[in-house]
Amino acid sequence: MVQVESFEAKYPWITVEPSEYEWDPATFSAQVAGGTLPTLFQVPFTDIQGLIAGGQVADITDLVAELPYADAFNPNILAVTQDDAGRLYGLVTAAYGIGLHYNRALFEQAGLDPDSPPQTWEEVREAAAAIASETGVAGYAQMSQANTGGWQLTSLSYNFGGRLEDGTGDTVTSTVDNPGTRAALEFLQAMRWEDDSLGDNFLYDWGTINQAFAAGQVGMYTSGSDVYNSLVTENDIDPESYGLSVLPLSGGDAGVLAGGTVVAVKSTATPGEVDAAVKWLDHFYLAKLVDEAAAVADAQALAESGAPVGTPALPIFGEEQLAQSDAWVADYVNVPLDQMSFFKENILSQALVPEPSAHTQEMYAILDSVIQAVMTDENADIATLLQDAQSQVNALIEQS
């Protein structure tokens, strides 16, 4: 690999051994215990705080401070990998916001204009009902399994102005039962039982909902804005039928959930390995965001291998830097950027809200069953479900 060669030329005392790696929560602990975890590995936003709490990632604050662009980081982005004391345990290498993905072909079939996606949740509901009645497929779908249900419900709650936890650190309490989450669930309940626009299948996780969407079985759904990359490489989506817009925001406190990828160093690495890992982080992951030559080389390599280049992302350093790096790679963009223009133009003006930090994954698992209950039981009582969920999460918080 070109980057490995140039890196080892620059730092002759470091050897880079690449290995195939994909974040998998089920095997992560075994890899840590067995010593087979790569020194430097990728983790989604949603899991990094759990790893920090479990002492499984190394503190790289001082090493990062030596990097030339250490002061240029967006502070909200830095906060994702910081613990309560402000120490840094990883660096964000890619960030996205949740967006509304829609199938342009289904929009046309339903008599809707694919160039003007819904701007309010009422319009989403109407569009979903139109798609369901005109084409027979689900107008809107919602993830509900493998903790993705809770993740998306959190996102939807933020859109309705709700927040799922209050306070930080030792004083945190769960506020899963809040008006925003109730409104989100009532919205889903209405679409499911009054409009029947959610189709007949409700057990979706991140991978299976992408599959269904790419196969044209789903009109709209919410997920990270970078999902297009996966839709192309794994689900063979037809680029003409893909559209991306921002999520409608309802109410004063409404915001959008941010997500992304963190690169971290395992805590069992030696100090020399940690130092080398941070240098590699700089060379391979971050240089392409701040250095024109690196950005162009990276985009060229991706384009040549058929991977998508140009999917909208959130700025890690700042809006001007993002605009500049977009300009550098403009010649290599191979995604239908004009079909994503609504997202790209409006995401930066939306308030970004981080994920809840206390027992995030366990809370998501509890919320999974809340969503599934709403979708499969016509008489589901949202108030009771949320109160139960809240007391369960608070019990978890008290235990630890």
Partner 1 sequence: MTATRAQARWSRPRSVRSWVKRGGLSALVLVLPLVLVFGVFSWFPIVRAAVMSFQTTNLISDPVWVGLHNFQRVFADPLLLTAIRNTVYFTLLALVFGYPIPLILAACMNELRRAKGFYSVLAYLPVVVPPVATILLWRIFYDAGPNGAFNTILSWFGLGPWPWIQSQASAMPSLVLVATWSAAGATVIIYLAAMTSIRGELYDAADVDGASIPQKIWNVMLPQLRYVLLVTLILQLIGTFQVFMEPFLLTNGGPANSTLTVLLLIYRYAFGSGGTGDFGAATALSLMLAAFLALLSWIYLRATRSWSET
Would you tell me which residues interact with partner 1 (CB under 8 A)? 25-26, 28-30, 32-33, 43, 46-47, 50-51, 53-56, 144-147, 199-203, 205, 267-268, 359-362, 365, 368-370, 372-373, 375-377, 392, 399
Residue closer to partner 1 (CB basis): 199 or 315: 199
Yes or no: say if 98 and 224 are a contact pair by the CB < 8 Å rule.
Answer: yes
Residue closer to partner 1 (CB basis): 301 or 396: 396
Residue closer to partner 1 (CB basis): 30 or 351: 30
Residue closer to partner 1 (CB basis): 131 or 287: 131
Distance CA 324, CA 329 (A): 9
User: How near is the Cβ of 138 to partner 1 at its closest, in Å?
Assistant: 9
Which residue in this structure is represented by tokens 């620059």? 10
User: How near is the Cβ of 35 to partner 1 at its closest, in Å?
Assistant: 10
Distance CA 161, CA 251 (A): 6
Residue closer to partner 1 (CB basis): 47 or 226: 47
User: How near is the Cβ of 358 to partner 1 at its closest, in Å?
Assistant: 12
Of 161, 159, 177, the C-alpha closest to 363 is 177
Cα radius of gyration (the chain): 21
Q: What is the DSSP string of 352-395?
A: EEPPP-TTHHHHHHHHHHHHHHHHH-TT--HHHHHHHHHHHHHH
Residue closer to partner 1 (CB basis): 199 or 255: 199
199 to each of 140, 141, 179, 218, 229, how far by Cα in Å? 8, 8, 26, 8, 25
Would you state the structure tokens that stand for residue 88, as one six-digit string? 């840094």
User: How near is the Cβ of 362 to partner 1 at its closest, in Å?
Assistant: 5
User: How near is the Cβ of 29 to partner 1 at its closest, in Å?
Assistant: 5
Yes or no: say if 80 and 354 are a contact pair by the CB < 8 Å rule.
Answer: yes
User: How near is the Cβ of 139 to partner 1 at its closest, in Å?
Assistant: 13
Residue closer to partner 1 (CB basis): 155 or 392: 392
User: How near is the Cβ of 224 to partner 1 at its closest, in Å?
Assistant: 17
Residue closer to partner 1 (CB basis): 189 or 267: 267
Yes or no: say if 258 and 345 are a contact pair by the CB < 8 Å rule.
Answer: no
Please state, as a whole number, how many other Cβ atoms lie within 10 Å of the Cβ of residue 390: 20
Q: How is residue 247 annotated by DSSP? A: P
Would you state the structure tokens that stand for residue 159, as one six-digit string? 């859109």
- Element holding 233 (H helix, E strand): helix 227-235
Distance CA 350, CA 97 (A): 9
Distance CA 278, CA 268 (A): 15
Yes or no: say if 164 and 175 are a contact pair by the CB < 8 Å rule.
Answer: yes
User: How near is the Cβ of 281 to partner 1 at its closest, in Å?
Assistant: 19
